Structure 1
Amino acid sequence: MHKAAWHRLRPVQWPVRGTLTTAIVLLATLVAALAVVLTGIVAGETAHASAEAQERDQLARQAAVLSRVPAPGSLLLADEQRLAGSNGVRLAVVAPDGRVTGPAAPALTDADRDRLLSGRSVSATAPLAGRNFMVEAHPAPGGGAVVLAQPMTDVRRAAARMQSSLLLPMATGLVGAALAGALLARRIARPLASAAAVAHRLAAGERGLRGPEGGPAEAVELGRSLTVLDRALTRSENRQREFLLSVSHEIRTPLTVVKGYAEALDDGVVPAGELPAVGRTLLTETRRLDGFVSDLLRLARLEADDFHLDIRRTDLTALAEEAAETWSRLCARHHVDFRLEHPATPVLADTDGSRVRQIADGLLENALRVTPEGSPLVLALHTEGGHAVIQVRDGGPGLSDDDAAVAFERGVLRDRYRDIRPVGSGLGLAIAHRLTTRLGGTITANGRGPEGGACFTVTLPGDGAD
C-alpha cells in the first residue's frame, strides 16, 4: 500500500490535554448546547405552527362574525378599512350568484368559491400581490360568503415573539448544565485525583495507605483496589525481605566455614593428618553453596518470559519407571521403602517430559529428606477426569493445614522448620510450583496422605490411558 494512503487509513490520535474536570465541564456544556439548539429548532417550528393556528382561529372567527352582518356586500365594501382593521387584512365578498368582489378576491380559487356557495367554510394559504396570505372564508346565512386574507408576515412576527420568549429559559438551561457539569466533574475528579496521589505514594515506597472511599461506585472500587494493592505490596515486600534474610543466613553459614578453614590453611595451623577432613568439609560446604545458587538461578529462569518448553507426546508411565529406578536405589541407601504405583496401560500427555521429571525429582528429594528409616515413600501415577495425576507421598511428619497453605512460598517452610527437621534451600517447592504452572497444570499440598506424611499432587493436561 502506498505510504500516503496508509497514513490516511491510520486512526487519528488526538493529544490529551487539560484535566478531567475541564473535559467533563466542556462535555456537559457541549451536550447542553446541542440540546438547546435542537430544542430551539423544535420550539421554533412549534411556535410558528402555534402562531399560525392562533392567527387562523382569530381570522376565522372574524369572518364568521362579518358573515352575519345584514347585506355584507354593500356594507363591507363601503367601509372595508374600518371593519377589517389596519393590520393588512384584506376582504372579499362572494355574492349568492357566485360573483367575487373585494381586494381578497384573487386569493379565492373557483373550487374555494364553489365550496363556499355549498355552505362550507374555507381555510387555505394562497398568494396575493406577490406575498403569501392566510385565507379564511365563511358562508353567509342568506347566501354568499365573506372572505378574509391576512399576510403570513403577521404569523412570522407572532412566532418571532414566541421564540424570543424562549431565549431566556434556554440560556438559563445552558448555564445550569455548565454548572451541573462542573459539580459533577468535581465529584468525579476529586476521588480520582486522590487515587492518583495514593498510587504515586505507593510507587514512591510508602505503605499503610488507604484508597479514597467517596465518589461514584467506580471511584470507590478503585480506592478499594488501591487499598488491596497496598496490602499485597506490603505482604510481598515483607516476604521478599524475609527471603533475602533467609538467603543471607543460608549463604553466610557455609561461607563462614569456608573462610575459617581457608584462613587456617593460610596460617598453616592445620595438621597434615587433618587435611583430607578439611578438604571434605570445604567440598561439602562448597556443594551446599552451589546447590543453593543453582536453585536461585533455576527459579529466576522460571520467572523469565522466554523460558523454553519442549512440548511433545510423552509417555508418563515410562518416565515414572525411569525415575523409580533412580530413587529406589537412593531410598535403599537411607533404608526408606520406595514404591511405584501406576496403571497397566500407558498414561500419555502433551507436555515437556524433562520438566515433569524435574518436578518429580524435586518432590521426591524433599520427601526423602524428612522420611524416617523404615517408612514408605511413594511415587504414584494415575488418570483422573482426562488429566494425568502424579503424586509423591511419604511417611514423614507431614504438614499442618497452615503449612500446606504456604508450602509453595519461597523459604517459608524452611524458616519454620530449620531447627526441627532436615530442610533444604527453601526453593524446591517454589520451583516445582512454577514449573507445574508453566506446563499448564496445578500442584497442591495435603498435610496428611495415606502413608501418614505429606502428599503432593501434580495434575497435568492429558488424555488418560492409551
Structure 2
Amino acid sequence: MIHRSLKAKLIASYLVVALLSVVVIAGFMRLTSNQSLLNLVMEQQATRLNEEAAFYYEQTASWAGFLEYYQTQLVRDPAFLEQIPTPSDKNPPGDYKDHEYPREIRGRNGLVGADLVTIIPFPGYDVGDSVPQSEIDGSTAVTVNGNIVAWVIPDRGFEFKLSPEEQLFLDRTNRAIFIAAAAGILGAVLMGFLLAGILLKPIRSLMEASKKLSKGELEQSVPVTSQDELGQLTQTFNQMSADLARADQQRRQMTADITHDLSTPLQVIAGYIEMLEDDDIHLTNRQVQIIMTEIEHLRRLVDDLNMLSKTDARDLNMEIHSCIPGDIAQQAYDGFEAICLRQNVALTLDIQPDLPNILVDEGRVMQVLRNLLDNALRHTPAGGFIRIGVDLWEGQVRIQVQDSGSGIHAEDLPYVFDRFYRADKARSGNAGKMGLGLAISKALVLAQGGTIYAESQGLGQGACMVILFPPEKKPSFTHLISLF
C-alpha cells in the first residue's frame, strides 16, 4: 500500500504540473490570439495605406484629392463612411485606373503630411488640423524617392469584426490549442505512470529486502541501478545488511567461543572436584596447580569482557600524563626479551632520537604493547623476528610491532580488531585465546585519542601493527610569559 500511495502521489504531482502549464499556456494563447489577429489586420491596413499614399504622391506630387480618392476607392467600411461625407468626384486624378486596390480597408488610420497637417482624419484631429510632434512618435513614415512625404498614424483603439475567413482561422487556432492541451494532459498522465514505475522500482526492491531483513534473513543485497539519492540509499542498505550479517555471525561465534572457553576449564575443575568426593583420593600439588591455571583463565576472560564493557560505557579510568614513547617501548622490550629468546625469536628495538612526548596513560599503552607482542609471538615461528619501532611519521608519534609470522589475508585486515573475530587465515587467535586482545588494544588506543591499524602483504608475509599518537603540544613563548 505504501508504494502504491507514493506512486499515486507522483502521478498526481506530474498531472498537477502539466495542468498548470497547459492552463497557463493555453489561457495566454487564447487571450492573445484574438488581439494579435486584430493587430495584424490593422498593421496590414496601415501598410496598405502607406503603399497607396506613396503611390498617389509619386503620381501627383501632391496630396490634393487624396482624401476623396481614399474614401471612394479604398474604404469599404460602412461604419467609417458614415462619419465622412461622400465626395461627388468618384475618380481620383492621375492615370492609375489599372492599379489593384484592396477590396476592404478597416480601421481609422490617419495620414499626416510632412508639414504636420492632417490629410486623413483620425481620432482627435480633422482634415487640415496641425498635429503636434508627439503624435508622430511611433508612426510609420511614407517615403518617396528617399524623402519623407507623410506619416501614417495607426488607430489601435478601433474595433471591428473579423472576416469569415479570419474568424475561421481563429476558431481553428483555438481548437488546436484545446487539442494540444488535452494531449499534454494525457501525455503527462502516461509519463507519470512510466516515470513513477521507474522511480519506484528500486524502492520496491528495498521494501522487499527490508521485509526479509525483518524476518531474520540478514544476507540481503539490492542491485544498485543509479548513482543518485536512491542509488546511495541502496548502497547504504546493502552495507547495513552486510554489517548486520557479519555482526550476527560474530555474535554466533562469540557465543560458541564463550561456551568453549568457559566449559573447558569448568570441566577440568569439575573433574578434580568429583575426585575429591572420594575420600580415598587426594589432589597432588600438580593437580592443584592445574585447577589454579584454569581459574586464572576464567578470571582473565571475565576481566577482558569487563574492560570492553567499560570502554563501551566510557567508564574506563585513565591517568593521562606526559610520557616518553621510547621509554614505554623499552619497557615492553625488556618484558618480552627473555620470552622471545626462549622461543628462538629475534626481538629488536629501534627508537628514533629526540621524539616528542605523548599525552597517554602509560600503563594502558603498556597493556596494548603487551597484547600486540603476545599476538606477534604466537604467530611467529622459531627463527623469525619481531621488531618494535618508534619514530615520528607525518607529524604523529608512530609505534610499530612488526613480525615475520603467518601474515594476514587482505580480506581479514579490516576485521582483525573486531571482538571475537576468528579466521583460520587471520591472526585473531589461537587455542585458548578468545580473540579479545586486539579488540581491547583498539579500544584502549581510541580512548586515548590515538589510532591503530594493521598492515600485511598477505599470508606468509608477516604483519605490522601500527599505533599513532599525536605529539604533546609544547606551550608557546607567549603562553609561558602569561603564566608569570
The match for 1:59 is 45
The match for 2:327 is 318
The match for 2:9 is 23
Report matched runs for 1:212-231 at 5 Å. Answer: 212=223, 219=230, 222-223=233-234, 226-227=237-238, 229-231=240-242
The match for 1:440 is 450
Count residues in correspondence. Answer: 418
When residues 458 and 310 of structure 1 are mapped into structure 2, their CA distance, relative to the original with a 3 A threshold, is: farther
Taking the aligned partners of 1:285 and 1:268, their CA distance within structure 2 comes to 22
The match for 1:124 is 154
Query: 1:120-171, CA deviations, whole angstroms, 9 ceiling, x for partnerless residues?
Result: 2413336xxxxx32xxxxxxxxxxxxxxxxx27879x979858744233224
Deviation at 1:181, TM superposition (A): 2.0
The match for 2:59 is none
Contact residue 21 and residue 189 of structure 1 kept, 8 A: yes
Match of 1:84 among 66, 76, 100: 76
**Local SS of the residue matching 2:399:** strand
**Local SS of the residue matching 1:120:** strand
Query: 1:357-395, CA deviations, whole angstroms, 9 ceiling, x for partnerless residues?
Result: 221121233345567889865543223333222233567
Taking the aligned partners of 2:457 and 2:28, their CA distance within structure 1 comes to 76
Taking the aligned partners of 1:460 and 1:216, their CA distance within structure 2 comes to 36
Query: 1:260-318, CA deviations, whole angstroms, 9 ceiling, x for partnerless residues?
Result: 223333x244634x265444332221111111222223234444567676665432123
Query: 1:191-215, CA deviations, whole angstroms, 9 ceiling, x for partnerless residues?
Result: 2122122123113211454425668
- Residue type of the alignment partner of 1:459: I
Report matched runs for 1:267-306 at 5 Å. Answer: 267-269=277-279, 271-272=281-282, 274=283, 276-304=285-313
- Which stretch shows the higher mean deviation, 400-409 or 368-377? 368-377
Contact residue 92 and residue 100 of structure 1 kept, 8 A: no
Match of 1:189 among 166, 178, 200: 200
Taking the aligned partners of 1:125 and 1:443, their CA distance within structure 2 comes to 88
Deviation at 1:447, TM superposition (A): 7.8
Contact residue 387 and residue 464 of structure 1 kept, 8 A: no
When residues 241 and 387 of structure 1 are mapped into structure 2, their CA distance, relative to the original with a 3 A threshold, is: same
The match for 1:380 is 389
The match for 1:13 is none
- Residue type of the alignment partner of 1:22: A
Taking the aligned partners of 2:204 and 2:197, their CA distance within structure 1 comes to 10
Structure 1 unmatched ranges of 5 or more? 1-15, 127-131, 134-150
Report matched runs for 1:37-436 at 5 Å. Answer: 37-40=23-26, 42-43=28-29, 46-47=32-33, 50-60=36-46, 63=49, 84-85=76-77, 92=84, 106=124, 110-111=130-131, 119-125=149-155, 132-133=157-158, 151=159, 164-165=174-175, 166-212=177-223, 219=230, 222-223=233-234, 226-227=237-238, 229-265=240-276, 267-269=277-279, 271-272=281-282, 274=283, 276-304=285-313, 313-328=322-337, 340-368=349-377, 378-393=387-402, 398-402=405-409, 405=413, 407-411=416-420, 424-436=433-445
Report matched runs for 1:449-460 at 5 Å. Answer: 454-460=462-468
- Which stretch shows the higher mean deviation, 379-388 or 41-50? 41-50
Taking the aligned partners of 1:84 and 1:306, their CA distance within structure 2 comes to 104
Taking the aligned partners of 1:40 and 1:275, their CA distance within structure 2 comes to 105
- Which stretch shows the higher mean deviation, 158-167 or 425-434? 158-167
Query: 1:20-70, CA deviations, whole angstroms, 9 ceiling, x for partnerless residues?
Result: 3233223322332343344246535752563233221343366569877x9
Deviation at 1:249, TM superposition (A): 1.2
Taking the aligned partners of 1:443 and 1:326, their CA distance within structure 2 comes to 23
Identity, in percent, stands at 22
Contact residue 348 and residue 462 of structure 1 kept, 8 A: no
Contact residue 414 and residue 424 of structure 1 kept, 8 A: no
Taking the aligned partners of 1:339 and 1:402, their CA distance within structure 2 comes to 25
When residues 169 and 336 of structure 1 are mapped into structure 2, their CA distance, relative to the original with a 3 A threshold, is: closer
CA RMSD of aligned residues (A): 5.0
Contact residue 387 and residue 463 of structure 1 kept, 8 A: yes
**Local SS of the residue matching 1:399:** coil
- Which stretch shows the higher mean deviation, 276-285 or 356-365? 276-285
Deviation at 1:256, TM superposition (A): 0.9
- Residue type of the alignment partner of 1:43: M
When residues 162 and 176 of structure 1 are mapped into structure 2, their CA distance, relative to the original with a 3 A threshold, is: same
Deviation at 1:189, TM superposition (A): 1.3
- Residue type of the alignment partner of 2:439: A
- Residue type of the alignment partner of 1:35: S
When residues 393 and 73 of structure 1 are mapped into structure 2, their CA distance, relative to the original with a 3 A threshold, is: closer
Structure 2 unmatched ranges of 5 or more? 57-63, 86-110, 475-484
Taking the aligned partners of 1:387 and 1:241, their CA distance within structure 2 comes to 38
When residues 45 and 111 of structure 1 are mapped into structure 2, their CA distance, relative to the original with a 3 A threshold, is: farther
Taking the aligned partners of 1:234 and 1:85, their CA distance within structure 2 comes to 90
Contact residue 188 and residue 215 of structure 1 kept, 8 A: no
The match for 1:462 is 470
The match for 2:92 is none
When residues 319 and 90 of structure 1 are mapped into structure 2, their CA distance, relative to the original with a 3 A threshold, is: farther
Taking the aligned partners of 1:100 and 1:373, their CA distance within structure 2 comes to 123
Taking the aligned partners of 1:178 and 1:436, their CA distance within structure 2 comes to 60
Q: TM-score, normalised by structure 2?
A: 0.66
Q: TM-score, normalised by structure 1?
A: 0.69
Query: 1:171-198, CA deviations, whole angstroms, 9 ceiling, x for partnerless residues?
Result: 4313322331232112211321221221
Contact residue 337 and residue 377 of structure 1 kept, 8 A: yes
